[in-house]
Structure formats: C-alpha cells, structure tokens
C-alpha cells in the first residue's frame, strides 16, 4: 500500500510490478519532440499514454490535470512538474491546475486563507516565473473549495465509492476523519471534470505525477469506469516521474531544508548548496583518477540531468569524464554551482515580476 501523504522512499521497480504501471520507454519514439525528462528516463512509467500520443499527433483536443497542494515552500524538485506543463501547453493541451486547499485543510491542517496566500505568492508566482503562460485561453487554475462544478461532481461520484474501498487503497482506519477521507474524491472530480458536458465533454486527459500519487490515479480510473455510461468518461491516462534525490542523499523535502534548494533561495545560497552537495566521488583524487567517479550516486549529476543541462551531448560528456576519472568533483561542482547561480539570477528577477500577475489570477472566473 502507498500512502500519498507520507514521504517514504519509493521502490520504482516494485511499484511498477505490483500496480501494473507500464514503462514509458515504449512511447519515446512515437513522440515528435519528447521532453528531456522523457528522453532521460526521469519519466519512467505510464498508464494508457497511447491515447495522449494519438491526440497530440492528430492535433485533437486533450487535457492535462496537475494539482498543487499548498502546504510548504516549492523546491527545485517541484520544478519538474512545471517543466512538463510548459511542454504540454506548447503541444496544445488544455491545462487544469486545481489548488488542493481542501486536501491541505484535511490532510495537513492548513487554513483556507493560508492556502490561498501560499498558492498565490509561492506556487502560482513560481509557475509564471518558470514560463507557464496564464494569459492563454487553454489554462484554468482554481481553488478546489471555490469550484462548484468540482465540489458537486465529487459528491455525485462518491455515491459509488465505499469505506472498504478507501480503506483498501489508502489504509484509512476507523479513526480517520471524514474530511480526510473525502479529499481524494475531490481529486477524482478534479481529474474527471474536464470531461463533463459543461467543460467540453469527453476527451483524453493525462495526469503527470510522482509514483506516490498513484492511489489517487487508480481510484480515479475505477470511478471513471463506473460512471462511463452517465458521462461518457474516457479513462484518464497518467505518467510517473522519479523524484530528485536531496542534497544530502535522502529524498528532497521541503520539511528538511538541508536536503533542498528552494525556488525562493538567493543565487548565492543556491550556489553554496550545490557546492556542499553529496557527490559520487571517491575518497581521494588519486583514487578518482584511477577508478572514476559514480555519477549514478551523485546528487550534483542529478541536478545537471534534471534541470541544469539542456544539451544531451554536454550531459554525456560529464558522465563519461566522471566515469573515466577525467574530471574531479571540485571542478565539476564549481561548474554546476555556477550554472545554478545563473539560473537563480535570472529566475529571481522573473519571480519578482510574476508576483503582481499572480495576485490577479485567482480573481479570474474559473473557465470550468
């Protein structure tokens, strides 16, 4: 059983086997310009992604739903989701971004007003600064608690979900409160509502998630089947990405500041953090020259792979130089930390500009 509200480390292979997630690899050749996270194996799994590839190829309507739960500061690992949304927006998707204030209230005890503040000044601000275009017609961001279509749909759908099922999927016990148990059903409605008549009717929908969110995907797909005859739902697709390792070698987490580079960090702080990150280097320089480093165990290499190096050739060069002992960790860290500093110098300016825009976005009426 996976608990989507805990931060346990994931065994990707076991998960894929146990819950029937299929490899993403099979689709790489069918996508015209795959995202670098697809090419580099960070996005490793999928369910029914074929219908999304088909919709993109035939220029047909499709949607992406990617929620945010405003319960802490965003770190560089969260950037991955926005990078994917940017790519989908360029590929013609309708983008839906539910702000999970109901889930933040029930699972984390965050007040609705605090959720809204955090969503505006942290999440939406970062999303804009990272390049997502909120001026376009095909994007809808909303607070769950203020989207009546979603709230009503969740109620209708919950008629065909019972306590035993929620217990089997999420492990809820008799002491679980109703709000927490109801929160996943709001998410089910978030994912399915783009397909109801008022929102344009049935269409392929994809949800890009980390594997810890798979319980929500499984529940949604089952509920979609149960309501197919009423709404004509097409069972939603999903993709799964690996989590970036934290700077200390543990999972990167907002609640453990030493593991994370926050998107609100100054360029100098971000640079310093890269310089003190755990590497896959050897005990001594001589040993490293002789045996080479281990990029597979290196958090600096991961930063290059996930975020800092757009060029596949440059990334390969670092990998081979490391493996062959041609580059030492000091030099490699210096290069990566300068790249990180440059990124944050540019990003911080964009963040400042984005704050004003972000304040107005939730005042707009939700499109659906």
Summarize as ranges the residues that interact with ligand SF4 (CB under 6 A): 279-281, 293, 295, 298, 300-301, 318, 322, 327, 329, 332-333
Q: Considering the complex, what minimum distance in angstroms separates the CB of residue 36 from ligand SF4?
A: 18
78/143 Cα distance (integer angstroms): 19
User: Among residues 194 and 281, whose Cβ is nearest to ligand SF4?
Assistant: 281
Q: Considering the complex, what minimum distance in angstroms separates the CB of residue 280 from ligand SF4?
A: 4
User: Among residues 42 and 329, whose Cβ is nearest to ligand SF4?
Assistant: 329
Q: Considering the complex, what minimum distance in angstroms separates the CB of residue 79 from ligand SF4?
A: 20
Tokens in use for 49?
Answer: 């992604």
Q: Considering the complex, what minimum distance in angstroms separates the CB of residue 335 from ligand SF4?
A: 8
User: Among residues 278 and 357, whose Cβ is nearest to ligand SF4?
Assistant: 278
β 205-209/139-143 pair status: unpaired
Tokens in use for 130?
Answer: 């990272």
Q: Which of 252, 301, 266 minimizes the C-alpha distance to 280?
A: 301
24/57 Cα distance (integer angstroms): 17
Q: Considering the complex, what minimum distance in angstroms separates the CB of residue 266 from ligand SF4?
A: 23
What are the two backbone dihedrals, phi and then psi, of residue 45, each rounded to the nearest 5 degrees? -140, 165
User: Among residues 235 and 334, whose Cβ is nearest to ligand SF4?
Assistant: 334
Q: Cα 172 to the chain's mean position, in Å?
A: 25
User: Among residues 170 and 301, whose Cβ is nearest to ligand SF4?
Assistant: 301
What are the two backbone dihedrals, phi and then psi, of residue 67, each rounded to the nearest 5 degrees? -85, 165
Strand 205-209's sheet: what is its strand order?
A: 22-23, 43-47, 237-241, 205-209, 63-65, 94-99, 139-143
């Amino acid at each position: 059983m996976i608990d989507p509200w805990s931060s346990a480390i994931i065994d990707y292979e076991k998960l894929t086997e146990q819950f029937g997630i299929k490899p993403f690899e099979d689709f790489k050749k069918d996508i015209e310009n795959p995202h670098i996270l697809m090419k580099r194996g960070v996005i490793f799994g999928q369910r029914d992604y074929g219908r999304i590839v088909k919709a993109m190829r035939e220029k047909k309507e499709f949607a992406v739903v990617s929620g945010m739960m405003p319960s802490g500061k965003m770190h560089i690992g969260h950037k991955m989701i926005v990078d994917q949304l940017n790519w989908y927006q360029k590929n013609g998707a309708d983008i839906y971004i539910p702000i999970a204030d109901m889930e933040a209230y029930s699972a984390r005890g965050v007040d609705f007003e605090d959720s809204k503040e955090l969503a505006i000044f942290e999440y939406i601000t970062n999303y804009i600064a990272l390049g997502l275009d909120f001026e376009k017609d095909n994007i809808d961001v909303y607070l769950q608690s203020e989207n009546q279509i979603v709230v009503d749909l969740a109620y209708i759908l919950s008629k065909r979900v019972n306590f035993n099922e929620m217990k089997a999927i999420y492990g809820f016990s008799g002491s679980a409160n109703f709000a927490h148990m109801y929160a996943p059903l709001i998410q089910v409605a978030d994912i399915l509502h783009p397909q109801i008549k008022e929102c344009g009717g049935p269409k392929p929908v994809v949800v890009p998630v980390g594997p810890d969110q798979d319980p929500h995907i499984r529940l949604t797909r089952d509920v979609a089947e149960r309501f197919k005859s009423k709404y004509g739902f097409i069972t939603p697709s999903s993709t799964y990405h690996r989590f970036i390792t934290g700077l200390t070698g543990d999972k990167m987490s907002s609640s453990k500041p030493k593991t994370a580079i926050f998107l609100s960090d100054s360029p100098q702080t971000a640079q310093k953090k890269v310089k003190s990150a755990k590497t896959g280097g050897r005990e001594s320089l001589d040993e490293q020259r002789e045996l080479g480093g281990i990029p597979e165990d290196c958090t600096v290499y991961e930063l290059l792979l996930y975020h800092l190096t757009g060029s596949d050739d440059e990334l390969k060069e670092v990998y081979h130089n490391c493996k062959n002992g041609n580059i030492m960790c000091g030099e490699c860290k210096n290069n990566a930390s300068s790249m990180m500093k440059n990124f944050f110098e540019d990003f911080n300016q964009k963040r400042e500009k984005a704050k004003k825009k972000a304040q107005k976005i939730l005042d707009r009426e939700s499109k659906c």
